[in-house]
């Protein structure tokens, strides 16, 4: 049995066509079902539906053989304990700093609200900015509005969330997309099955990039 960890929402939606091309179609829809383990049309493959930040943990400990995780989550988790064989090029967005519209530039001493503590710390340190990082678990956009922070670090896609809260994107920290991650022991023990899946994903990704040329 191969177990694949995926988070609900955009990553799940974007991963579905890739999985389908590998003959893996979930038998339940996580939007309407409360099941956390989804059987699929392939009897040897199941999905576990978990929070995005938990995907690397499940895969690291072998509770899932494979997973689909955003690069943002992997940067925070640390990727040494996992294989990351493939950029799936899905759920693409940007990790950015953002400030209130009227802030002219980010000061040399700054308070930053984010859930990306490690990534933000190393980003500001690399720019010689002294940053006090305040860890939040969501609604980062609120922090500058209520005086909790000068600046946030968050994922930006269309920019609508920032705009709706009077913020604007500033500096690009990193382009983000979702990656396939693999448990190190499973890569050895279930090599054939996992490699076949990786190869199929590669074929689909190559077809996609050809179609976009
Ligand atoms: P947007 O308003 O389109 O810029 O989207 C920004 C909001 O969606 C923020 O709250 C982000 O944390 C979240 N978001 C955007 N893209 C992604 C993604 N690829 N994965 C997870 N969350 C995302």
Q: Is 156 in the pocket of ligand 1 (CB under 6 A)?
A: yes
Bridge partners, residue 39, by sequence: 46
CB atoms near residue 58 (< 10 Å): 22
Range of the domain at 14: 2-91+177-211
Nearest atom of ligand 1 to the alpha carbon of 70: 20
Q: Is 10 in the pocket of ligand 1 (CB under 6 A)?
A: yes
Same domain, 145 and 168: yes
Same domain, 70 and 7: yes
Cα–Cα distance measured from residue 189 to residue 105, given in angstroms and rounded to the nearest whole number: 52
Tokens representing 31? 């939007």
Ligand 1 center to residue 199 CA distance, Å?
Answer: 29
Same domain, 83 and 128: no
Tokens representing 206? 């190559």
Nearest atom of ligand 1 to the alpha carbon of 140: 10
CATH code of the domain containing 157: 3.40.190.10
- pLDDT at res. 105: 82
Same domain, 183 and 170: no
The per-residue pLDDT of the chain, averaged, comes to: 96
Cα–Cα distance measured from residue 172 to residue 152, given in angstroms and rounded to the nearest whole number: 12
Q: Helix (H, G, I), strand (E, B), or coil: what is residue 149?
A: coil
Q: Take atom 23 of ligand 1 and give the residue whose Cα is closest.
A: 155
Q: Take atom 12 of ligand 1 and give the residue whose Cα is closest.
A: 155
Q: How confident is the model at residue 212 (pLDDT cuts 50, 70, 90)?
A: confident
Cα–Cα distance measured from residue 203 to residue 213, given in angstroms and rounded to the nearest whole number: 16
- Based on the structure, what is the number of domains in the chain? 2
Same domain, 163 and 191: no
Nearest atom of ligand 1 to the alpha carbon of 154: 12
Tokens representing 129? 């900015």
List, for residues 139-197, the tens digit of each pLDDT value: 999 999 999 999 999 999 999 999 999 999 999 999 999 999 999 999 999 999 999 99
- pLDDT at res. 85: 98
Which pTM value belongs to this model?
A: 0.95
Same domain, 56 and 15: yes
Same domain, 100 and 56: no
Q: Take atom 11 of ligand 1 and give the residue whose Cα is closest.
A: 155
Nearest atom of ligand 1 to the alpha carbon of 52: 21
Same domain, 99 and 169: yes
Nearest atom of ligand 1 to the alpha carbon of 160: 2
Mutate to test the pocket of ligand 1, among 12, 161, 176, 179 (most ligand atoms within 8 A of CB): 161
Mutate to test the pocket of ligand 1, among 53, 93, 152, 175 (most ligand atoms within 8 A of CB): 93
Same domain, 83 and 117: no
């Amino acid at each position: 049995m191969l177990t694949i960890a995926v988070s609900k929402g955009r990553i799940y939606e974007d991963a579905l066509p890739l999985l389908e091309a590998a003959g893996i179609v979930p038998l339940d829809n996580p939007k309407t079902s409360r099941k956390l383990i989804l059987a699929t049309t392939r009897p040897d493959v199941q999905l576990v539906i978990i929070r995005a930040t938990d995907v690397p943990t499940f895969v690291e400990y072998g509770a899932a053989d494979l997973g689909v995780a955003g690069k943002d989550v992997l940067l925070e988790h640390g990727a040494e304990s996992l294989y990351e064989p493939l950029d799936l090029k899905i759920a693409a967005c940007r990790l950015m700093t953002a400030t209130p519209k009227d802030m002219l530039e980010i000061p040399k001493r700054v308070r930053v609200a984010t859930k990306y503590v490690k990534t933000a710390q190393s980003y500001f340190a690399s720019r010689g900015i002294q940053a006090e990082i305040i860890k939040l678990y969501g609604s980062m956009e609120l922090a500058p509005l209520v005086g909790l922070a000068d600046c946030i670090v968050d994922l930006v896609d269309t920019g609508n969330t920032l705009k709706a809260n009077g913020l604007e994107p500033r500096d690009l920290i990193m382009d983000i997309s979702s990656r396939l991650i693999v448990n190190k022991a499973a890569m050895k023990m279930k090599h054939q099955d996992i490699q076949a899946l990786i190869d199929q994903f590669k074929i689909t990704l190559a077809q996609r990039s050809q179609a976009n040329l």
